[in-house]
């Protein structure tokens, strides 16, 4: 029974209050806010009147005497080019003095000039705007706020002049000092999480982008930088930390950061999705939007000197934003349809950002969402989702590209092996020429002995010698086949071997060609042979590439007295091999990229050999390979550990 009676009392009180507010509004008078209700009424919108000042003519005195005050029905009045005055009366029915913190919930309002009147007349003035000095406020805050102590029975009137180049928020919010401080700490904690997450995503994407070695990662980082700068001003955190930068610069640069983020997003779309190749028509549209955005940036650079630009920002920004994001979504759809790597994540990022932002702003526009914080946080939340999706898109493309490069590298290795077949046949022919000639002569000799069979037995000893020579020739030929088989083997096992033996093996294989070209080969090996545990075929193959490269250079440039110096050193657990020639060296414009695929100093070269050599040295031998021009030729250096660390 008591509960029913209690609810009836509260219902009657609420109806009475509503009726009183309605009657007061009808009479042109607003009900004063009672400081005793500070914990029940965070928004003072229903207690505020406002006075537009489109001609910029009102002063404190004229606004105070004006009869044109109107009830304030909504807090956000949009982007205005003129000041707004508001009036609020505050009383205190509580037996104790009440301390209030009045604050404007939008951090970017440029000028909030508050004139406080008591019953006996003017009391004091405070400048609380974003452009104002914060030293007259009781704590550093992202919002313009006023600390007011109201004694029992006392009445204050607050006349406030608001003027800004951004969206104007006219409502006063109220809280106790403790609640306000607590709310500020929570807000700053949220923004700290946001900025930390944004930085983490940027670093993650940077690591993925470095694998790709593509310019698109720079545009992604540019977008993150502009988003970071925009949010520093948008959140009001810049007001607190300042970094010695004047507030107007933070404010004006915020417009540029917002437009810059759009520009970088468009450029990221062009290079990340490769629109010129995958969607030529859309590529032209996106580039046109990038040009228009660049012009808008230049326009807003001049805006501090031409205020009409800010007043016209809706005409400039809204079509630009609409067309840009429509183009980005369309590009994402085409990327998905055409199988562009990372296209799904790119599209999802754009859709999530637009749906969240447009949805909440639409609901707020029609009064379905009255909490400004929800609207305010829609941009950073949407931006976080967008940055996350872009990070995943970059990572996906990096993985796909890495997988494709691995396949290409394996294909290059196979192509290198296939290309070596022709050379190996020629080398085998060189190696077999002498044994085959000897075998032919010995066979002819045996035929003579066969015809003379029965006439004499004095040739038996010679026949045995001939057969022994033939076996030696066959063994030599078999050894040649085994040498080439082991050289071109795909065996990747790690095993113990002596490097100098492998190098001599290469020299033996190339012996005929070295003699044919008249190349003088000098080699220097350690006095005490060193044994290493690694991949012998990798060392043989890399050395073969360097030797053949020198021989090709001698032949191409017709070098007189060609010379090759091979030096092997083993010390401190590392092996150093150098192969130097006097073939004239490497052209200066090729030195920095001679190990890249498809780069060759020979007119008919494929640019595969040195790339394969570098890959074998780095991946199999776990070492390094470099080159320098020295003593009239090129000197290649290979260095690798005596143990590769992956045996077994």
Q: At 67, which CATH number? A: 2.60.40.2380
Which three-class secondary structure state does DSSP give residue 606? Answer: coil
Convert 54-69 to b/e letters by CB count within 10 Å (16 or more is b): eeeebeeeebbeeeeb
For 177-191, 241-255, 343-357, which range has the lowest pLDDT when averaged over its residues?
A: 241-255
The answer, yes or no, to whether residue 582 has pLDDT greater than 80, is yes
Q: Is the pLDDT of residue 317 over 90?
A: no
Query: What local confidence, expressed as pLDDT, does residue 218 receive?
Result: 87
Contact call for residues 534 and 640 (beta carbons, < 8 A): yes
Rounded CA separation 548/541 (Å) = 10
Largest CA distance in the chain: 154
108 touches 233 (CB < 8 A): yes
Supply φ then ψ for residue 544, to 5 degrees: -60, -40
Is 70 exceeded by the pLDDT of residue 3? no
Q: Are residues 256 and 273 in the same domain?
A: yes
Whether residue 474 lies inside any domain: the answer is no
Flag whether pLDDT at 605 surpasses 80.
no
Q: Write out pLDDT tens, residues 446-495.
A: 777 777 665 555 667 777 777 777 776 677 667 666 656 655 555 567 88
Find the CATH number of the domain harbouring 550. Answer: 3.30.565.10
pLDDT class of 359 with cuts at 50, 70, 90: confident
The last residue of a domain, from among 410, 431, 458: 410
Residue 421 pLDDT exceeds 80: no
> Does residue 638 have a pLDDT over 70?
yes
Q: In CATH, what number is assigned to the domain containing residue 227? A: 1.20.1070
Whole-number Å distance between alpha carbons of 641 and 404: 29
Angle between helices 460-487 and 499-509 (to 10 degrees): 110
The dihedral built from the CA positions of residue 369, 373, 376 and 381, taken in this order, carries a sign that is negative
Q: Does residue 527 fall inside a structural domain? A: yes
User: Same domain for 246 and 391?
Assistant: yes
Q: What is the pLDDT of residue 80?
A: 81
Distance CA(357)–CA(321), nearest Å, equals: 12
Burial of 255: CB neighbours in 10 Å, binned 0-12, 13-18, 19+: buried
Q: Please choose, from the candidates 639, 323, 630, 400, the residue with its C-alpha nearest in 3D space to the C-alpha of residue 499.
A: 639
Q: What is the pLDDT of residues 113-166, one digit of tens each?
A: 999 999 888 888 999 888 887 766 667 788 888 899 999 999 999 999 999 877
What's the Cα-to-Cα distance from 60 to each of 51, 116, 118, 218, rounded to whole Å? 12, 10, 15, 51
Q: Alpha-carbon distance 23 to 574, whole Å? A: 95
Ordered DSSP codes for 518-552: T-EEEEE--SS---EEE-HHHHHHHHHHHHHHHHH
What is the pLDDT of the chain when averaged over all its residues? 81
- What is the CA angle 384-217-595, rounded to 5? 155
251 and 129 fall within a common domain: no
> To 5 degrees, how large is the angle CA 297–CA 269–CA 409?
140
Tokens of 461: 């000893």
CB distance 585 to 550 below 8 Å? no
Q: Does the residue 531 lie in any domain?
A: yes
CA distance 547 to 579: 7
Examine residue 465 and state whether it is found in any structural domain, yes or no: no
454 occurs within a structural domain: no
* Separate counts of helices (H) and strands (E) for the chain: 17, 19
387 lies in some domain: yes
Domain boundary among 393, 410, 427: 410
Same domain, 347 and 383: yes
Residues 218, 163 share a domain? no
Q: What is residue 521's predicted lDDT score, i.e. its pLDDT?
A: 92
CA distance 46 to 524: 96
Say yes or no: 139 and 41 in one domain: yes
Cα gap 399→210, rounded to integer Å: 12
Beta strands 624-630 and 563-571: pairing type?
unpaired
Residues 196 and 167 in one domain: no
Place of tokens 């996906």: 396
- The C-alpha atoms of residue 465 and residue 461 are separated, in whole angstroms, by 6
Distance of alpha carbon 196 from alpha carbon 94, whole angstroms = 44
3-class DSSP string for 454-506: CCCCCCHHHHHHHHHHHHHHHHHHHHHHHHHHHHCCCCCCCEEECHHHHHHHH
User: Are residues 147 and 164 both part of a single domain?
Assistant: yes
Instruction: Indicate if the pLDDT at residue 85 is higher than 90.
Output: yes
The number of distinct structural domains making up the chain is 4
Over the stretch 264-300, which tens digit does the pLDDT of each residue have?
999 999 999 999 999 999 999 999 999 999 999 998 8
Structure confidence at residue 483 (pLDDT): 58
Does a structural domain hold residue 424? no
24 and 93 fall within a common domain: no
Span of 232-236, 347-351, 578-582 with lowest mean pLDDT: 232-236
Residues 232 and 133 in one domain: no
Q: Specify whether 529 is located in the same domain as 603.
A: yes
- Quick check: is 484 in a domain? no
Dihedral, CA of residue 11, residue 12, residue 13 and residue 19, to nearest 10: 110
The domain of 529 spans 495-648
pLDDT value at 507 more than 60:
yes
Cα gap 170→184, rounded to integer Å: 20
Rounded mean pLDDT, 625-630: 91
Position 1 scores a pLDDT of 43
pLDDT for residue 284: 94
Q: Which of 121, 140, 175 finishes a domain?
A: 175
Residues 503 and 368 reside in one and the same domain: no
Which tens digits make up the pLDDT trace of 528-566? 888 888 888 888 888 888 988 898 888 888 888 899 999
Spell out the SS3 assignment of 93-143.
CCCCCEEEEEECCCCCCCEEEEEEEECCEEEEEEECCCCCCHHHCCCCCCC
Contact in structure between 228 and 186 (CB atoms under 8 Å): no
């Amino acid at each position: 029974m008591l509960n029913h009676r209690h609810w009836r009392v509260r219902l009657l009180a609420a109806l009475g209050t509503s009726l009183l507010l309605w009657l007061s509004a009808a009479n042109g008078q607003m009900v004063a806010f009672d400081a005793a209700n500070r914990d029940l009424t965070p928004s003072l919108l229903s207690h505020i009147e406002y006075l537009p000042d489109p001609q910029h003519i009102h002063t404190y005195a004229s606004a105070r005497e004006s009869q044109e005050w109107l009830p304030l029905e909504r807090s956000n009045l949009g982007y205005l080019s003129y000041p707004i005055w508001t009036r609020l009366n505050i009383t205190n029915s509580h037996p104790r003095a009440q301390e209030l913190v009045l604050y404007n919930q939008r951090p970017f309002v440029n000028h909030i000039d508050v004139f406080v009147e008591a019953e006996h007349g003017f009391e004091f003035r405070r400048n609380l705007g974003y452009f104002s000095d914060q030293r007259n406020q009781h704590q550093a805050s992202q919002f313009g706020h006023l600390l007011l102590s109201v004694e029992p029975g006392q009445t204050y009137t607050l006349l406030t002049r608001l003027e800004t180049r951004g969206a104007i928020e006219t409502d006063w919010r109220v809280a106790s000092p403790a609640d306000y401080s607590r709310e500020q700490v929570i807000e700053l904690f949220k923004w700290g999480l946001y900025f930390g997450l944004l930085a983490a995503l940027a670093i993650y994407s940077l690591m993925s982008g470095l694998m790709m070695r593509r310019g698109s990662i720079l545009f992604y980082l540019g977008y993150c930088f502009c988003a970071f700068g925009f949010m520093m001003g948008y959140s009001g955190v810049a007001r607190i930390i300042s970094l010695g930068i004047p507030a107007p610069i933070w404010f004006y640069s915020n417009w540029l950061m917002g437009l810059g983020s759009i520009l970088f997003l468009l450029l990221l779309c062009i290079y990340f999705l490769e629109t010129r190749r995958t969607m030529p028509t859309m590529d032209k549209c996106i580039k046109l939007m990038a040009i228009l955005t660049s012009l808008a940036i230049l326009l807003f650079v001049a805006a501090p000197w031409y205020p009409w630009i800010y007043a016209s920002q809706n005409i400039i920004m809204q079509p630009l934003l609409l067309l840009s994001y429509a183009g980005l979504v369309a590009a994402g759809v085409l990327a998905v349809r055409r199988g562009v790597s990372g296209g799904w994540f790119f599209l999802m990022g754009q859709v999530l950002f637009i749906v969240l932002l447009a949805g909440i702003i639409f609901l707020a526009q029609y009064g379905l969402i009255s909490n400004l914080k929800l609207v305010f946080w829609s941009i950073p939340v949407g931006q976080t989702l967008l940055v996350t999706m872009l990070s995943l898109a970059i990572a996906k493309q990096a993985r796909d590209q890495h997988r494709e490069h691995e396949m290409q590298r394996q294909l290059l290795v196979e192509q290198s092996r296939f290309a070596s077949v022709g050379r190996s046949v020629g080398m085998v022919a060189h190696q077999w020429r002498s044994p085959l000639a000897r075998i032919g002569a010995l066979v002819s000799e045996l035929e003579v002995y066969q015809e003379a069979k029965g006439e004499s037995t004095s040739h038996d000893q010679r026949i045995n010698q001939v057969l022994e020579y033939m076996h030696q020739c066959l063994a030599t030929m078999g050894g040649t086949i085994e040498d080439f088989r082991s050289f071109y083997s795909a065996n990747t096992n790690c095993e113990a071997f002596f490097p100098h033996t492998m190098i001599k093996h290469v020299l033996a294989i190339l012996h005929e060609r070295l003699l044919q070209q008249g190349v003088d080969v000098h080699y220097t090996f350690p006095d005490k042979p060193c044994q290493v545990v690694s991949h012998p075929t990798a060392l043989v193959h890399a050395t073969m590439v360097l030797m053949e490269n020198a021989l090709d250079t001698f032949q191409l440039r017709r070098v007189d007295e060609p010379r090759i110096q091979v030096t092997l050193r083993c010390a401190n657990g590392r092996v150093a091999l150098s192969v130097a020639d006097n073939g004239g060296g490497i052209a200066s414009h090729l030195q920095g990229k001679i190990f890249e695929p498809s780069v060759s100093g020979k007119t008919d070269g494929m640019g595969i050999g040195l790339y394969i050599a570098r890959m074998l040295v780095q991946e199999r031998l776990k070492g390094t390979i470099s080159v320098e021009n020295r003593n009239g030729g090129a000197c290649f250096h290979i260095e690798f550990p005596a143990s590769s660390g992956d045996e077994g």
